[in-house]
Amino acid sequence: MPKFQGVVKISGDPVGGDDLSRLGYAQGTTKQRGNSITYVQQGWGGFRYEINVRWRQINQSTIEGVWSISSQYPDKKIAPMASAITQRALQSQYSNAYASHALWWRNFWDRSAIHIPDTLLEKQWYMEQYKFGSASRQGAPPISLQAVWTADNGRIPPWKGDYHHDLNTQLSYWPCYSANHLEDGMAYLDHLDANKANYKRYTKMYFGKGGLAVPGVTTLDGTEMGGWIQYSLSPTVSSWLAQHYYLQWRYSMDRKFLKNRAYPWIKDVAVFLENITIKDENGFRKLPISSSPEINDNDLSAWFFQDTNYDQALMKSTFKMASELAAELGLKNEAAHWKKISGEFDGFALTPNDELMFSPTLAYNQSHRHFSHMMAIHPLGLIRWEDGPKSQRIIKNSIHLLDSIGPDYWCGYSYAWLANMKARAKDGEGAAKALQIFAKAFCSVNSFHLNGDQTKSGYSKFQYRPFTLEGNFAFAAGLQEMLIQSYAGFIAIMPALPATWNNVSFENLRTDGAFLVSAKKENGITSFIKIKSEKGGHCVVQTDIPVNQVKILCRSLPKITRGKDGKTYIEVETISGEVVSISNSAG
C-alpha cells in the first residue's frame, strides 16, 4: 500500500510528482477477516477510500478472487462499500463474470472498425479504442490525465493526475464522435453537468459575472486547483468544453439532449462571454485581457491586451453555436441576439503571409507544444478548406510555418494534433507521417503516450517520460479524420489518404447528422459506400466515384452532380432507419 507518512520531500516538479507523504495523510489500516483483506485510507476533509480483496478455494489448484475500490465523501450520497461489492461478486462464478465482460467488449468492438495498409497506425488505433473503452464509461469519472493507469510508484502523478481543460480533456474526447462511441463519451458531459453548480459558484466568485465559466485545472468535483493563472483560470475554458456538447448533439441528433443539455450549457457560456467582454475604440468586442495556452508560460508576457486568436476563436465559436442551436429550437429572438454578437468580433490576427498569429502583437515565432493559435482551423472549423482559396492559403501557410519553425519543443500530442490539421488540409501524406512519428517516437512499448521523444531522433528536445492520455486519443481522431470528415455540411469519404493507400475500408464510422458510414477502396478505387440514417434528414456525400459510374439504392430520387473540385456529390433525403447503398459500376 502507498505510504502517506514519512519525511516530506518537496521537489516542486509537476512532471515527476512529489512524494505521497506530502499529502500528510495518516497511514491507512489493513485488516484480514477469513478470506477477505480490507485497506482503508482516510484522506482530506472527510474523504476516504477502501480497497477490498476477497477469494475462495475452488479446488486444490484453483483460487477465484475479486477486488474492488470504493470512495466516500462526507457531503455526497453513501456509495456501496468495496467489501460489500466483492461479497456479492464472489457469489457468482468466474465464468459468469467473464461472459458479461466479454459481451460488453464484443458490443464495444462492433461499434466501428478500420482497415488500412499501415499496420503500425492500425494497431495503434485499436489500442486507443481499447484505452477509451477502459477509461470512459457512463457512471464513472471521465478521462483524466492518466485515468485508471496512474503509476504505483509512491509519488503524486504527473500534473497531479487532475482534470486539465486547456487541452487534455478536450483532446481525450475527440475520437468518440466519429468512432461511434457517443454513449461512452457521455461520461465527459455527465461530469461537467454534475459540477455545473460548482462552476457557477466559481464564475461569480472569480469573475463577478453571471453565466458559466469553468476552471482550466480542476478537482473531481470541479473545484479550481490553480496553477499558471493565464490558463488555469482562463475565461474561455467553458467555450472549448461547449464544443463537445455541440458535437454530441450533431452526431446524435438527439433533440432531448439538445434542449435539456447542449443549448443550456452553450447559452450559459454565451451569457458569461457577453457579460465579460467589452467594446474597444473601434467597436469590436474583446476580453479585458487575453492569453493563449501556454504561450510564454507563466511570464508577464503571457498576457495580451488584444485578443489572442485562441480566445477569439473560442468566443466566435460559442456565439455561432448558440445562434444555431437557438434557431434549431425555434428561439428566434435568442438566435438573432447571439448572431448579432458573433459579428461584433474583429478578424483573426494574420501575418502579411496569411499565417495565423498568437495575437495581433505576436507572430508564431517559437516552437511550441500547444497549437492554440490555430484553434480556428481545428478543432473549431471556423477557417475551413472548403471555404475556398483564401481559407486554403491561411491553412496551408499556417501549417507550413509550424513545420518550418520545427518541433524542438513539441510533445507527442502536438504531432497527433498536427495530423488532424493536415487531414483537414487534405494532406494525407503529411497526416500519416505525423501519426507515424507519434506512434514510433512518443509511445511506450505498452502504447501509452509519453510526452517526450523516446527515440532521441530529433522529433523534440523534450526527451522525458511523463505519461498523459490526450495524445493517444488525439492520434485516433487524426486517423479518423483521414478516413471521414463531415464538419463542412457533407460527408467526405476518405478525404485525406496517402497515395499509396490503395486498399482501405472502414465500418460504422459516425458523422454529423447521425449517419453511420461504411466504405471500401480496392486497388485505389472507391468501390462501395453504405450509409445508415439513424434520424433521417438530408444527406450529402462527397466521393471520388465518377458521376457516370455511381450506382445507388435509396428510397428517394438522388441528386448526383460534379463539383468544382472534381469530386462527385450525391444528395439524398433519408428517413429514420434507411440504408443507402452506393457502388462503383466500374468496380
pLDDT level of residue 18 (50, 70, 90 thresholds): confident
Is the pLDDT at 13 greater than 70, yes or no?
Answer: no
Is the pLDDT at 164 greater than 70, yes or no?
Answer: yes
- Look up residue 176 and give its three cell numbers: 468518440
Give Cα separations from 274 to 286, 292, 342, 344, 562 (angstroms): 10, 20, 10, 11, 43
Task: Give helix 470-483 / helix 119-135 axis angle, nearest 10°.
Answer: 120
Between CA 482 and CA 498 the distance in angstroms is 9
Mean pLDDT of the region 141-167: 91
Stronger pLDDT, 25 or 341, i.e. the higher one: 341
Please report the pLDDT score of residue 151 as a whole number: 85
Percent of the chain surpassing pLDDT 70: 97
What residue ranges do the domains of the chain occupy? 20-91, 523-584
Contact status, residue 272 vs residue 333, Cβ threshold 8 Å: no
- CA quadruple 458, 463, 465, 471: dihedral sign: negative
From 78-92, 102-116, 146-160, 444-458, the region with the lowest mean pLDDT: 146-160
Task: Express each pLDDT in 170-198 by its tens digit.
Answer: 999 999 999 999 999 999 999 999 999 99
Mean pLDDT of the region 403-431: 99
- Look up residue 565 and give its three cell numbers: 473540385
Sheet containing 29-33: order of strands: 29-33, 36-42, 48-59, 62-72
pLDDT level of residue 34 (50, 70, 90 thresholds): very high
Is the pLDDT at 8 greater than 60, yes or no?
Answer: no
Number of Cβ within 10 Å of residue 238's Cβ equals 27
Task: Express each pLDDT in 203-220 by its tens digit.
Answer: 999 999 999 999 999 999
Contact status, residue 38 vs residue 85, Cβ threshold 8 Å: no
- Look up residue 124 and give its three cell numbers: 495503434
Is the pLDDT at 6 greater than 60, yes or no?
Answer: no
Between CA 160 and CA 23 the distance in angstroms is 11
Contact status, residue 358 vs residue 405, Cβ threshold 8 Å: no
Cβ neighbours for 549, distance < 8 A, ≥ 6 positions apart: 584, 585, 586, 587
Is the pLDDT at 336 greater than 60, yes or no?
Answer: yes
Please report the pLDDT score of residue 400 as a whole number: 99
**Percent of the chain as helix, strand, coil, to the nearest 5:** 40, 20, 40
Task: Express each pLDDT in 511-544 by its tens digit.
Answer: 999 999 999 999 999 999 999 999 999 999 999 9
pLDDT level of residue 156 (50, 70, 90 thresholds): confident
Residue 47, Cβ density class (10 Å: 0-12 exposed, 13-18 middle, ≥19 buried): middle
Mean pLDDT of the region 9-25: 73
HSE at residue 180, side-chain half, CA atoms within 13 A, is 21
For the CA atoms of the chain, what is the radius of gyration? 25
* pTM of the entire predicted model: 0.96
How does DSSP assign 210-229, residue by residue? SS----SEE-TT--B--SSH
Please report the pLDDT score of residue 16 as a whole number: 67
Task: Express each pLDDT in 84-123 by its tens digit.
Answer: 999 999 998 899 999 999 999 999 999 999 999 999 999 9
Give Cα separations from 2 to 28, 36, 50, 54, 266 (angstroms): 9, 19, 13, 20, 42
**Cis upstream peptide for 294 (omega within 30°):** yes
Burial 125-156 (b: 16+ CB within 10 A, else e): bebbbebbbebbbeeebbbbbbbebbeeeebb
pLDDT level of residue 228 (50, 70, 90 thresholds): very high
Is 30 strand, coil or helix? strand
Look at residues 20, 8, 79 and name the one whose alpha carbon lies nearest to residue 50.
79
Tally of residues, the chain: 587
Is 528 strand, coil or helix? strand
pLDDT level of residue 10 (50, 70, 90 thresholds): low
